[in-house]
Chain A
Amino acid sequence: EDQVTQSPEALRLQEGESSSLNCSYTVSGLRGLFWYRQDPGKGPEFLFTLYSAGEEKEKERLKATLTKKESFLHITAPKPEDSATYLCAAEGSYKLIFGSGTRLLVRP
């Protein structure tokens, strides 16, 4: 059965304290691995798409990487405005299979 698992469920960081979020997946015929940011009461906001193992993408303080079984979202020197839920999703046959997300809180 296709499955996506994210850890940790919640993460509290001090401003400037770098860390990583993990996403492990079991999806047959992976077509893409996606990262989204979601603020309370809003729809997911697209961050990155990764297609093959070894691929990396960066945007401001965020960097996403992909292996054959996992993806990581690295957050470098986070700011309070980075506080949100970060969702990982794997695409099998067109539909996205989401993990439960990591709730990130960055304190000033």
Chain B
Amino acid sequence: DTGVSQDPRHKITKRGQNVTFRCDPISEHNRLYWYRQTLGQGPEFLTYFQNEAQLEKSRLLSDRFSAERPKGSFSTLEIQRTEQGDSAMYLCASSSGLAHTQYFGPGTRLTVL
């Protein structure tokens, strides 16, 4: 399977704990995106990488959120001191430099108790 993969698929945590998610993009794609989706809504943009450089962050992204993409390959999204409002599906997508189409992974479902 050469699609976008995400790990874990589900995460349950207690309020105040830190969590980290991983995304592996399609191998030849140099752009990687993180989105968040809550029930009944479309995905909302969080941040975007071109290779290892983080080029844009949404104003919705608080200081508790940080993302990295070392060596321009996989990416991690960390949420510190989780809050119940962080409960959502976190989606990763990737695209190549020439094409605009973003391909999504299966998502990580986060539940904060």
B62 CB to closest chain A CB, in angstroms?
18
Which of B6, B33, B100, B107: most chain A Cβ within 10 A? B100
In the complex, which residues of chain B have a beta carbon less than 8 angstroms from the beta carbon of A89?
42-43
- Tell me whether A45 and B48 are in contact in the complex, defined as CB-CB below 8 angstroms, given that A96-B43, A98-B42, A100-B42 are known contacts: no
Chain A at the B interface: SS class: strand
Q: When the two chains form their complex, are residues A95 and B45 in contact, meaning their CB atoms are under 8 A apart?
A: yes
In the complex, which residues of chain B have a beta carbon less than 8 angstroms from the beta carbon of A96?
33, 35, 43, 45, 93, 102
Chain B at the A interface: SS class: strand
Q: What is the bound-complex CA distance between A98 and B41, given in angstroms?
A: 9
Residue count of chain B within 8 Å CB distance of chain A: 25
Q: When the two chains form their complex, are residues A94 and B43 in contact, meaning their CB atoms are under 8 A apart?
A: no
Q: What is the bound-complex CA distance between A45 and B93, given in angstroms?
A: 11
Q: When the two chains form their complex, are residues B104 and A43 in contact, meaning their CB atoms are under 8 A apart?
A: yes
Contact mask B81-113 → A, CB, 8 Å, 1/0?
Answer: 000000000010100000011111111010000
Q: What is the bound-complex CA distance between A12 and B103, given in angstroms?
A: 28
Q: When the two chains form their complex, are residues B100 and A36 in contact, meaning their CB atoms are under 8 A apart?
A: no
In the assembled complex, A25 has its CB within 8 A of some CB on chain B: no
For B100, give its contact among A31, A41, A43, A44 (CB under 8 Å): A31
Q: When the two chains form their complex, are residues A94 and B106 in contact, meaning their CB atoms are under 8 A apart?
A: no
In the complex, which residues of chain B have a beta carbon less than 8 angstroms from the beta carbon of A95?
33, 45, 48, 56
For B104, give its contact among A31, A45, A91, A94 (CB under 8 Å): A45
In the complex, which residues of chain B have a beta carbon less than 8 angstroms from the beta carbon of A36?
104
By a beta-carbon cutoff of 8 Å, the part of chain A in contact with chain B is 4, 31-32, 34, 36, 41-46, 49, 87, 89, 91, 93-101
Taking A43-B106, A96-B35 as given, write out 13 further A-B residue pairs in contact, using a Cβ cutoff of 8 Å, ordered by the A residue number.
Answer: A4-B42, A32-B100, A32-B101, A36-B104, A44-B91, A46-B101, A46-B104, A49-B100, A87-B43, A94-B31, A97-B45, A98-B43, A101-B42
**A-B pairs with lowest CB-CB distance, top 5:** A98-B42, A43-B104, A95-B45, A32-B100, A44-B104
